[in-house]
């Protein structure tokens, strides 16, 4: 620097740098090197322009004065504003040390709504140092809700526009460009020619692509190299709004560590395009890597992680918890650390655990944690476990719970373990068929099997199938299970009476002797509410030919005659009895009786419509037809007489 430096400002600069760089002090040689840099020149300029608090307070110290709406004043401009509402003016001291220099002007619409705020700066913009004073005043005014923040934002935006208007496009920061591209609150934004001019100037350099629309622009529509020459921040802004552009970014941008990092949190994939130098920095940055683990695990597949982090136990634990496959990148030291590996095995994906155990069975086959994890993905992995773990009851239970066929890899001891077999059958009842024979006689295991379906009862031992209490238990859940009960129980009068009395359709599985027992079959008929007739399919032929029994059955359900013997269906006396119970019974009479004129004339006497079940010959017999016609006429007259007397 050519000019003479003020020691007090140099000290302020050095104090600032020591704090930022975390240095205790600079020696004279280093201090001189710093002073000779361009960066220090800018910092010195900044501190030279910066006034201390006391100096600043003296300059902005002042008083507020309120002018009520309608107040008569000589100043024509103020008079005009007072015709619309109250006016508040903040005055600072003039050269005569009197509060007469106006710095803030608040114009109201009436009493409670701000119309406009002006300052003493360029284009009536408020000077930035007066923002605090303005905010305090606005908070004291009786304004409508949200009016304070709304108007403060307008004032701040105008101050920003005023500053930007003094900059060249090459000096815009990314934040400046973002400000110009955003929608802003207030009437001024579309009317302020300075803001519009600046935005239009940028749009021209973007090949007339509007700043607001850049996030949707085609990647081929922008010449990023050309924008770099104008202002690299234009490129950064474009990429920030449209991260897909990073693929085409100039190398200078891709080597900007801070920019890539800020962009990465929005679009993790941009790290693919970062320079090798930036990747090397990031691979040793714990926070960056933790983010990539959770949001973009493929970074590890590209091996963008330093050896230091690969050997950092706590970091790798976090990595593995997010994605178990990160274990692949742990250092050899960690992979040989039993405590670390057990943590990893507890947190890796079960599929990856399966792969590890299958591919490295000699190394991991005796690790209980890994085997348990792998079993969750594929129980067959028990095949690769050590003999010790194949004899571990907890592990084998876990395996057979997932898949019954895993039992084949268990030790012989556990293949014959009651508790293991209980877990097996409870989760896979169909496995009951293939368990060792002696366990098919275990009532607890058998109950677990039949809990799913009665069909598994067929695989139980003969002893259990002959056990009154056990079969009663099963039949209580699944009445049709009686099919698999022993012949002794199926022939036990007391037992069958109990079962049929509750579940009539189980008569099908009673012994032939009991199907010939009138009391048993009647019990079934009595308990059946509808479609009673089909139970007679299981009654003995003797009962189906027994007049008294079949009469009892017809009283329950006329369709029982379906199963009556041919002899009874051809027996005139029996069929008359049946028809007296229900004329519909004629349907089941033998062909001989249906063609017997005397029999049919008797039947139609009370129910002429039953002629439809007579033989074809009799349905066309003149005498029979006249009889039907006569009976129907008599029945019609009788009905009319009854109706006539209101009966």
Decide: 167 and 149 in contact? Cβ < 8 Å.
no
Alpha-carbon dihedral angle through residues 169, 172, 178, 181, given to the nearest 10 degrees:
-20
The Cα 272–Cα 264 span in angstroms is 10
Decide: 464 and 438 in contact? Cβ < 8 Å.
no
Sign of CA dihedral 158, 164, 169, 172: negative
Structure tokens at 225: 């190299």
Of residues 55 and 466, more confidence is placed in 466
For the chain, give the percent of residues with pLDDT over 90.
Answer: 40
Say yes or no to pLDDT of 302 above 50. Answer: no
Say yes or no to pLDDT of 401 above 90. Answer: yes
SS3 337: coil
**Region 62-73: what's the mean pLDDT?**
90
Q: Give me the residues paired with residue 65 across strands.
A: 89
Of residues 564 and 16, more confidence is placed in 564
Sign of CA dihedral 20, 23, 25, 28: negative
**Region 586-604: what's the mean pLDDT?**
94
Across the chain, how many H-helices and E-strands are there?
Answer: 43, 4
Structure tokens at 350: 């079960």
Q: What integer pLDDT is reported at residue 506 of this predicted model? A: 94
Q: What integer pLDDT is reported at residue 187 of this predicted model? A: 47
Structure tokens at 72: 């008569």
Say yes or no to pLDDT of 596 above 50. Answer: yes
Q: What integer pLDDT is reported at residue 22 of this predicted model? A: 78
Q: Give me the residues paired with residue 85 across strands.
A: 110
**Region 125-129: what's the mean pLDDT?**
86
SS3 93: strand
Among 290-299, 445-454, 468-477, which is the least confidently predicted range? 290-299
The Cα 584–Cα 386 span in angstroms is 77
Decide: 512 and 542 in contact? Cβ < 8 Å.
no
Q: Tell me: the pLDDT tens digits for 237-253?
A: 888 888 888 888 898 98
Q: What integer pLDDT is reported at residue 54 of this predicted model? A: 55
The Cα 535–Cα 558 span in angstroms is 13
Q: What integer pLDDT is reported at residue 354 of this predicted model? A: 83
Among 101-115, 207-221, 297-311, which is the least confidently predicted range? 207-221
The Cα 288–Cα 258 span in angstroms is 12
Decide: 436 and 414 in contact? Cβ < 8 Å.
no
Count of beta carbons in the 10 Å neighbourhood of residue 272: 14
99-109/62-67 β-pairing = unpaired
**Region 317-343: what's the mean pLDDT?**
83
Mean pLDDT of the chain: 85
Say yes or no to pLDDT of 421 above 90. Answer: yes
Q: Give me the residues paired with residue 91 across strands.
A: 63, 102
Decide: 347 and 330 in contact? Cβ < 8 Å.
no
Exposure string over 191-215, b if 16+ CB within 10 A, otherwise e: ebeebeebbeebbebbeebebeebe
The Cα 506–Cα 523 span in angstroms is 12
Q: Tell me: the pLDDT tens digits for 362-394?
A: 888 888 888 888 898 889 889 999 999 999 999
The Cα 192–Cα 487 span in angstroms is 103
Say yes or no to pLDDT of 408 above 70. Answer: yes
Q: Tell me: the pLDDT tens digits for 130-181?
A: 999 999 998 888 887 677 888 888 888 888 888 888 888 888 888 888 887 7
Of residues 210 and 257, more confidence is placed in 257
Structure tokens at 369: 């944690």
Say yes or no to pLDDT of 640 above 70. Answer: no
Q: C-alpha angle 207/209/215, rounded to 5°? A: 130
Pick from 137, 131, 166, 142: nearest CA to 60: 131
Q: Tell me: the pLDDT tens digits for 269-291?
A: 787 888 888 888 877 777 777 77
Of residues 359 and 195, more confidence is placed in 359
The Cα 367–Cα 620 span in angstroms is 93
Q: Tell me: the pLDDT tens digits for 451-471?
A: 989 999 999 999 999 999 999
What is the Cβ-side half-sphere exposure of residue 62, based on CA atoms within 13 angstroms? 24
Q: What is the CA radius of gyration of the chain?
A: 50
Of residues 22 and 511, more confidence is placed in 511
Structure tokens at 583: 């004329």
The Cα 455–Cα 462 span in angstroms is 15
Pick from 3, 33, 2: nearest CA to 14: 33
**Region 426-431: what's the mean pLDDT?**
94
The Cα 17–Cα 11 span in angstroms is 10
Among left, alpha and beta (phi > 0; psi -120 to 50; other), residue 171 is: alpha
Helix (H) or strand (E) holding 462: helix 462-465
Find all residues with CB under 8 Å of 163, minimum gap 6, and list them: none
SS3 66: strand
DSSP string, 558-588: GGGGGGS-HHHHT-HHHHHHHHHH-GGGGGG
């Amino acid at each position: 620097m050519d000019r003479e430096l003020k020691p007090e400002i140099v000290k302020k600069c050095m104090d600032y740098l020591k704090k930022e760089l975390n240095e205790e002090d600079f020696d004279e040689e280093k201090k001189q090197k710093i002073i000779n840099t361009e960066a220090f020149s800018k910092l010195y300029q900044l501190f030279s322009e910066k006034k201390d608090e006391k100096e600043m307070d003296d300059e902005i110290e002042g008083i507020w004065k309120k002018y009520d709406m309608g107040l008569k004043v000589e100043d024509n401009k103020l008079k005009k504003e007072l015709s619309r509402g109250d006016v508040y003016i903040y005055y600072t001291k003039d050269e005569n040390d009197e509060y007469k220099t106006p710095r803030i002007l608040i114009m109201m619409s009436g009493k409670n709504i701000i119309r406009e705020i002006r300052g003493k700066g360029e284009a009536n913009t408020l000077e930035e140092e007066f923002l605090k004073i303005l905010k305090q005043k606005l908070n004291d005014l009786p304004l409508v809700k949200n009016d304070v923040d709304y108007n403060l934002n307008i004032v701040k935006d105008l101050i920003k526009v005023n500053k930007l208007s003094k900059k060249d496009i090459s000096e815009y920061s990314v934040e400046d460009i973002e400000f110009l591209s955003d929608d802003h609150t207030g009437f001024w934004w579309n009317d302020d020619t300075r803001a519009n001019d600046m935005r239009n100037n940028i749009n021209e350099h973007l090949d007339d692509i509007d700043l607001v629309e850049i996030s949707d622009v085609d990647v081929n529509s922008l010449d990023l190299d050309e924008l770099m020459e104008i202002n690299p921040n234009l490129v950064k802004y474009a990429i920030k709004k449209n991260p897909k552009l990073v693929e085409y970014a100039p190398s200078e941008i891709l080597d900007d560590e801070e920019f890539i990092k800020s962009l990465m949190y929005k679009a993790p994939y941009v790290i693919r395009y970062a320079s090798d130098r930036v990747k090397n920095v990031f691979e040793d940055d714990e926070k960056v890597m933790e983010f990539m683990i959770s949001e973009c695990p493929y970074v590890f597949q590209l091996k963008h992680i330093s050896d230091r982090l690969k050997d950092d136990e706590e970091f790798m634990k976090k990595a593995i918890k997010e994605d178990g496959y990160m274990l692949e990148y742990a250092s050899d030291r960690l992979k040989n650390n039993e405590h670390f590996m057990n943590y990893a095995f507890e947190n890796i994906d079960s599929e990856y655990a399966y792969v590890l155990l299958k591919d490295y069975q000699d190394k991991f086959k005796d690790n209980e944690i890994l085997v348990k994890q792998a079993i969750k993905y594929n129980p067959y992995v028990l095949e690769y476990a050590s003999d010790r773990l194949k004899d571990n009851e907890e592990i084998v239970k876990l395996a057979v719970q997932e898949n019954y066929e895993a039992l084949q890899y268990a030790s012989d001891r556990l293949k014959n373990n009651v508790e293991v077999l209980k877990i097996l059958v409870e989760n896979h009842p169909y496995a009951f068929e293939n368990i060792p024979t002696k366990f098919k006689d275990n009532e607890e295991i058998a109950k677990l099997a039949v809990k799913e379906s009665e069909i598994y009862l067929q695989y139980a031992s003969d002893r259990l199938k002959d056990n009154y209490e056990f079969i009663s238990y099963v039949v209580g859940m699944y009445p049709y299970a009686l099919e698999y009960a022993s012949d002794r129980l199926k022939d036990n009068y007391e037992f069958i009476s109990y079962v049929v009395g509750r579940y009539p359709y189980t008569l099908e599985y009673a012994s032939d002797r009991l199907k010939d027992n009138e009391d048993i079959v009647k019990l079934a008929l009595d308990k059946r509410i509808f479609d009673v007739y089909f139970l007679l399919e299981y009654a003995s032929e003797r009962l189906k030919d027994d007049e008294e029994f079949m009469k009892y059955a017809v009283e329950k359900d006329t369709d029982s005659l379906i199963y009556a013997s041919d002899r009874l269906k051809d027996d005139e006396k029996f069929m008359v009895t049946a028809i007296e119970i229900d004329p519909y019974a004629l349907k089941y009479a033998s062909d001989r009786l249906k063609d017997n004129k005397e029999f049919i004339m008797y039947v139609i006497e009370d129910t002429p419509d039953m002629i439809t079940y007579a033989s074809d010959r009799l349905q066309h017999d003149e005498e029979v037809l006249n009889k039907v016609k006569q009976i129907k006429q008599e029945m019609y007259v009788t009905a009319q007489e009854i109706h006539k007397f209101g009966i």
